[in-house]
Structure 1
Amino acid sequence: MAFISLSAAVLAGGNAERMSRQDKGLLLFRNTPMALLVGRALQQVADSVFINANRNFDAYTALGYEVIADDLAYQGKGPLSGLLACLAFAKTSHLLISPCDTPCINSAAFVKLKQASLLSPETIHYLESGSGTHPLHAILPVEQTYSALSQFLKEAQRYNVSAFYEKFGCQSVIWANDADLLNVNTPRELV
């Protein structure tokens, strides 16, 4: 399998339980919606960018991206549900993903993921930093991952992203700057 083309998705389909159920991707970080900040960073590396969301479709579309929702059959299975929808929608050999609540992420991190994928295109690559693993900052081979994830969701008792990656075959990519991976989960983190 070869690395031929790259699309990217902003994952904004979560429930935002720690954020009083406010749609995190639409919350402002330094006066800009977080999903837009992530989308702009992805645009610098990918051929096309879209957003995975399960509500507020008009508001997300107004950010300038195509918006897709989780398949109803898989809703409620956490981030893997959104990932499956993104893989089904992608028309490229590889898909780059990033969660909407990491507004400080920059294109250099995505370039590093892309470089790893160019060297080993059949593997899922995700970021790892001093604070731990970041499995939702990842690049995945579309066709193979979609097939494996569909099977995993039928069989799994736990819908854990890292467990799926381990079963598929994955490799971490070290990212030294933890500040780029700030995950905004509470209102006080919206600086």
Structure 2
Amino acid sequence: MSVLVGLIVALALYIISLYNGLVDKRTRSEEAWSGIEVQLKRRHNLIPNLVETVKGYATHEQETFEKVVNARNSAVQVGQSGAAATAQAEMALSGALRQLFALAEAYPDLKANTNFLDLQAQLKELEDHIQMARRFYNGSVRDLNIMVDSFPSNLVAQRFGFSKMEFFELDEAEAAQVKQVPKVEF
């Protein structure tokens, strides 16, 4: 009888341990997503200053400015729509920013403007922070998803409503395009 009670207690402790592990992984994934959101918000806040600086030199390029502003606004509105929707909106914004920087090539005075150079450096730094936050988030999501799928933790996950989370990643076409984008020196 005491062996049966001991087994039941051990099983209960094991289930509690699995549950707490799932809670830990989910919380880390949510925290990592929060880190991505912070970096994206910083990026979104920087873009209007960048557009205004370029506008001062390239006033007749209204279509490019509108694309950047519309892409930024779409990315801001995506908000809590999930990793896949956010990734899609951010890829569109990155494409619009590439057009803006390509436009700057035609304006030597703009390329020499210290405000523009500072904004460009800040944006590059933010892009690096976003990539680091993305890797951390995807690692946290991977750990959670493995636990949700693995036996016996999947039994606890199903019972208590834990589910897999989406990765925040570029699609293959966008990843290839990013690798092929020529480096622009300002």
Higher RCO, 1 vs 2 (CA within 8 Å, ≥6 residues apart): 2
Scaled by the length of structure 1, the TM-score of the pair is 0.27
Scaled by the length of structure 2, the TM-score of the pair is 0.28
Q: Which has the larger radius of gyration?
A: 2
* Structure with greater strand percent: 1
* Structure with greater helix percent: 2
